């Protein structure tokens, strides 16, 4: 399929808009992921925002020409790469390492680390494009949705903001106002909204409910995240929260097994073992169950190297020699950084880069078929592999898994963007270069923001920054390094119970697919044991509202749920990050 050469694509304004919008949304993803363990889609939101922005600029005559559909597609590629820079380890492996060692990671080392992993992931995607997209026509549902959104937005003159853009803008403003009134403690503000809304009078085990994190959160972020994630995951998380914080935690407190201080940090010190083992076992079994997908992935990519008719197809495809050049450039850099920053043996670093290619193949294939990138399960495979090869070294099993997981998510992100471009007849080479601009922008935004939000490791694993994803990575690293014998007996029982339940839920899903909606999501259930209950309660409420709206007014829900939820999340998280900057500068206390 040839590109539409006469239309502008990767123009300077598309690059600048993509870097700014994607960079801002990377801050939103960083903020939300450190709180919930979930990352949110970027490309569709960025496309809507860019369309609205340039439509307004055109009406004000500040630009001469309308923002073309292929320009917007190229912009989406930049923004998506920037928005997913949290996949390079800043919400999982890096905070997990900081919690384990008590040492922060410097800004420049973090910048080069996450950038090199992302660029290696972009390079790894090259051999997969023609086979998975051109030949096999894998769905990549988010890529299809992004292309359809762009077609709908640009159908006509493109001179007026769409309804979705207006919904996104107004909800973003509402989210920003709520965050400011809650978090900005300044003399000129007569009152502040509460961070937690507590239920007075009710107690568990003789203690207020809030001691077990059972409260309502004064935030729209979790409501929006719940609306986007879907009802099954949300009710599974609520179930897990009730079992953990309303059942197990009070019992453990009464037995004297957990500290009487209670609170999130104390409770999760025990519950993380059950949640992590449940997520790990279910993820690995679900991955193993799709062994045919793995085999198809390996066979399909081998075709990219052996089928000369594909390599010489002409057109605007990314040349295969770009893959070899990129691998020769980025591979040694990633190996060097593993050795220099983390004292990882060179042979181990080389093995992690080689393994990352196969992880990327599977990640891209799974994303193309299911729209889900199983980086969690794939990262844990690496942790277990290198935990056995270099036993007792938590840094090695964490940061090698960071390499393979990060490469997988960035390769899958590029293929999702390339699917949009394929449907719109864009030039994949320009989208390839767009990813490089996005990686640069995302790193420049994420790294300073991370250090502002998390200046010291003791901020992690707290009520403010629970970092559920990092908790799971940390617990797996500790288990591989120290063994189960180092844990409290009840924690050992929790690990076994989590493994059994994780395996059982996956088997139930596969055995009774028609009843999947009524079977708890293993990931959702497990995550509830690694994050505060007030987060989970709010996410359930958001999903419940979205479900009711979709049943009562399906057309309205289709137009509003994603843009309104994305706006609330973006507005509140960006204002939260901005307030953190003002606190550092001394403007706010």
- Burial annotation 274-302 (CB, 10 A radius, 16+ → b, else e): bbbbbbbbbbbbbbeebeebbebbeebbe
Mean pLDDT for the stretch of residues 290-303 = 61
At residue 12, the pLDDT reads 93
- Tell me the pLDDT tens digit for each residue of 396-423: 988 998 998 889 888 988 888 898 888 8
Arithmetic mean of pLDDT over the chain: 83
Which stretches of 84-162 are DSSP H helices?
93-101, 107-124, 126-129, 141-153
CA dihedral 382, 384, 389, 392 (to 10 degrees): 120
- Tell me the pLDDT tens digit for each residue of 237-260: 899 999 999 999 999 999 998 888
How is residue 545 written in tokens?
């509202």
Residue 375 pLDDT more than 80?
no
Asked if 76 and 144 sit in the same domain, the reply is: yes
User: Cα(6)–Cα(8) distance, rounded to whole angstroms?
Assistant: 7
Asked if 404 and 300 sit in the same domain, the reply is: yes
Least confident of 17-26, 368-377, 455-464, 545-554: 368-377
Asked if 254 and 291 sit in the same domain, the reply is: no
Residue 203 pLDDT more than 80?
yes
Report which of 9, 22, 16, 151 is spatially closest to residue 74, judged by C-alpha positions: 9
CA 232 from centre of chain: 19
Which of 430, 459, 488 is the C-terminal boundary of a domain? Answer: 459
Q: Domain count of the chain?
A: 2
Asked if 413 and 552 sit in the same domain, the reply is: no
- Do residues 35 and 535 lie in contact, with contact meaning Cβ atoms separated by under 8 Å? yes
Domain contains 578? yes
**113 Cβ contact partners less than 8 Å away, ≥ 6 residues apart:** 88, 89, 94, 105, 337, 341
User: Cα(298)–Cα(291) distance, rounded to whole angstroms?
Assistant: 11
Domain contains 496? no
User: Cα(521)–Cα(279) distance, rounded to whole angstroms?
Assistant: 10
Domain that holds residue 564: 181-284+507-584
At residue 294, the pLDDT reads 59
Asked if 204 and 80 sit in the same domain, the reply is: no
Domain contains 494? no
Which of 459, 490, 525 is the C-terminal boundary of a domain? Answer: 459
Domain contains 35? yes
Asked if 382 and 364 sit in the same domain, the reply is: yes
Within a 10 A sphere around the Cβ of 51, how many other Cβ atoms? Answer: 26
Asked if 448 and 299 sit in the same domain, the reply is: yes
**260 Cβ contact partners less than 8 Å away, ≥ 6 residues apart:** 253
- Burial annotation 128-157 (CB, 10 A radius, 16+ → b, else e): bbbbbbbeeebebbbbbbbbebbeebbeee
Domain contains 589? no
User: Cα(385)–Cα(400) distance, rounded to whole angstroms?
Assistant: 10
**512 Cβ contact partners less than 8 Å away, ≥ 6 residues apart:** 519
At residue 372, the pLDDT reads 64
Asked if 222 and 291 sit in the same domain, the reply is: no
- Tell me the pLDDT tens digit for each residue of 6-65: 678 989 999 999 999 999 888 888 887 888 776 766 777 788 888 888 888 888 888 888
Asked if 143 and 94 sit in the same domain, the reply is: yes
- Tell me the pLDDT tens digit for each residue of 166-184: 887 888 889 889 888 888 8
Asked if 97 and 244 sit in the same domain, the reply is: no
What is the phi-psi region of residue 586: left when phi exceeds 0, alpha when psi lies from -120 to 50, beta otherwise? left
At residue 299, the pLDDT reads 63
Within a 10 A sphere around the Cβ of 330, how many other Cβ atoms? Answer: 22
Asked if 104 and 210 sit in the same domain, the reply is: no
Domain contains 361? yes
Most confident among 42-46, 108-112, 129-133, 400-404 (mean pLDDT): 108-112
Got the DSSP string for 390-412? STT-HHHHHHHHHHHHHHHHHHH
Question: pLDDT confidence of 313, banded at 50, 70, 90?
Answer: very low
At residue 307, the pLDDT reads 55
Domain contains 469? no
Residue 297 pLDDT more than 60?
no
Within a 10 A sphere around the Cβ of 9, how many other Cβ atoms? Answer: 25
- Burial annotation 487-520 (CB, 10 A radius, 16+ → b, else e): beebbeebbeebbebbbbbbebbeeeeeeeeebb
Asked if 121 and 209 sit in the same domain, the reply is: no
At residue 283, the pLDDT reads 74
Using CB atoms within 10 Å of the CB of residue 333, give its burial: 0 to 12 exposed, 13 to 18 middle, 19+ buried.
Answer: middle
* pTM greater than the 0.85 cutoff: no
Which of 429, 444, 459 is the C-terminal boundary of a domain? Answer: 459
Domain contains 465? no
At residue 162, the pLDDT reads 64
């Amino acid at each position: 399929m040839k590109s539409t050469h006469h239309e502008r694509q990767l123009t300077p304004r598309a690059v600048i808009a993509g870097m700014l919008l994607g960079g801002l949304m990377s801050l939103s993803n960083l903020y939300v992921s450190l709180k919930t363990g979930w990352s949110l889609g970027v490309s569709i939101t960025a496309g809507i925002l860019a369309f609205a922005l340039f439509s307004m600029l055109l009406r004000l005559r500040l630009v001469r020409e309308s923002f073309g559909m292929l320009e917007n597609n190229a912009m989406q590629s930049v923004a998506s790469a920037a928005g997913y820079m949290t996949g390079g380890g800043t919400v999982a492996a890096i905070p997990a390492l900081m919690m384990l060692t008590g040492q922060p990671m410097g800004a420049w080392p973090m910048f080069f680390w996450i950038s090199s992993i992302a660029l290696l992931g972009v390079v790894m995607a090259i051999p997969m494009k023609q086979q998975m997209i051109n030949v096999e026509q894998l769905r990549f549902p988010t890529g299809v949705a992004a292309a359809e959104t762009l077609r709908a937005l640009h159908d006509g003159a493109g001179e007026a903001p769409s309804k979705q853009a207006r919904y996104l803008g107004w909800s973003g403003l509402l989210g920003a106002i709520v965050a400011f009134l809650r978090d900005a403690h300044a003399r000129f503000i007569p009152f502040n909204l509460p961070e937690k809304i507590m239920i007075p009078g009710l107690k568990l085990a003789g203690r207020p409910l809030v001691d077990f994190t059972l409260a309502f959160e004064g935030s729209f972020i979790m409501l929006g995240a719940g609306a986007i994630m879907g009802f099954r995951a949300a009710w599974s998380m609520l179930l897990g929260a009730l079992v953990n914080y309303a059942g197990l935690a009070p019992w453990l407190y009464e037995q004297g097994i957990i500290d009487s201080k209670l609170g999130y940090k104390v409770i999760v010190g025990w519950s993380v073992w059950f949640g992590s083992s449940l997520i790990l076992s279910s993820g690995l079994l679900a991955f193993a169950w799709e062994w045919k997908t793995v085999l198809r992935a390996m066979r399909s990519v081998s075709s990219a190297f052996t089928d000369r008719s594909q390599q010489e197809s002409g057109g605007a495809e990314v040349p295969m020699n770009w893959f070899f050049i990129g691998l020769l450039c980025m591979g040694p850099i990633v190996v060097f950084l593993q050795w220099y920053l983390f004292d990882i043996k060179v042979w181990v670093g080389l093995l992690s880069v080689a393994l990352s290619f196969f992880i990327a193949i599977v990640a891209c294939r799974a994303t193309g078929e299911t729209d889900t990138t199983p980086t969690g399960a794939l990262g844990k495979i690496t942790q277990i592999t290198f935990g056995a090869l270099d036993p007792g070294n938590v840094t090695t099993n964490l940061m090698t898994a960071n390499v393979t997981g990060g490469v997988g998510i960035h390769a899958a992100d590029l293929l999702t963007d390339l699917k949009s471009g394929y449907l719109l007849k864009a030039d994949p080479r320009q989208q390839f270069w767009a990813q490089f601009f996005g990686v640069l922008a995302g790193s420049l935004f994420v790294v300073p923001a991370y250090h502002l939000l998390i200046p010291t490791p003791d901020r992690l694993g707290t009520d403010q920054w629970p970092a559920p994803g990092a908790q799971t990575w940390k617990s797996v690293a500790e288990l591989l390094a120290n063994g189960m014998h180092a844990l409290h007996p009840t924690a050992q029982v929790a690990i076994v119970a989590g493994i059994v339940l994780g395996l059982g839920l996956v088997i139930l899903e596969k055995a009774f697919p028609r009843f999947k909606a009524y079977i708890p999501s293993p990931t959702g259930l497990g995550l509830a044991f690694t994050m505060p209950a007030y987060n989970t309660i709010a996410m359930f409420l958001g999903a419940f509202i979205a479900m009711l709206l979709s049943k009562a007014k399906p057309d309205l829900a289709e137009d509003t749920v994603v843009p309104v939820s994305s706006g609330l999340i973006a507005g509140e998280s960006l204002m939260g990050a901005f307030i953190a900057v003002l606190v550092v500068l001394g403007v706010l206390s």
